[in-house]
Amino acid sequence: MIELSLSMAEFIAERHLAVLATQRADGSPHAVPVGFTFSLGVARVITFAPSVKARNAGRGGRASVTQIDGGRWVTFEGPVRVLDDATAVENAVAAYAQRYRQPKVRDDRVVIEIEVDRVMCSSGLK
């Protein structure tokens, strides 16, 4: 289980966007701004099934999400997967709504999950 320092947990609780990095089929990086949530060692991004990020994550492998604010930053990295079951999507949407805002309703919503096994951060958050 990933344990965060108090300063890192406080930073993650702040409302910031982040950058999700996944791998395209050819191995090149695909990085996009996203909102995300983090709970119990899992970073979650809601998106729609046909998106490039969902297709990339659906191939498995690894991904990362980085929240940055000036000189403060934290990166969560690990194996990635995509979930489309109603309960997983509903829970991820609720967490997103609590952190950011209620997203628009979509029938093709999915959840990208990163099972975090590596955390990197700026020195002030250690």
Give the span between the Cα atoms of 49 and 44, in whole angstroms. Answer: 14
* The pLDDT of residue 3: 84
**Is the CA virtual torsion 39, 65, 116, 2 positive or negative?**
negative
Give the span between the Cα atoms of 6 and 9, in whole angstroms. Answer: 5
For the chain, domains (ranges, CATH) are 6-121 (2.30.110.10)
* The pLDDT of residue 126: 87
Tens of pLDDT, residues 73-126: 999 999 999 999 999 999 999 999 999 999 999 999 999 999 999 999 999 898
Tens of pLDDT, residues 5-35: 999 999 999 999 999 999 999 999 999 999 9
Beta bridge partners of 109: 48
Burial of 44 (0-12, 13-18, 19+ CB in 10 A): buried
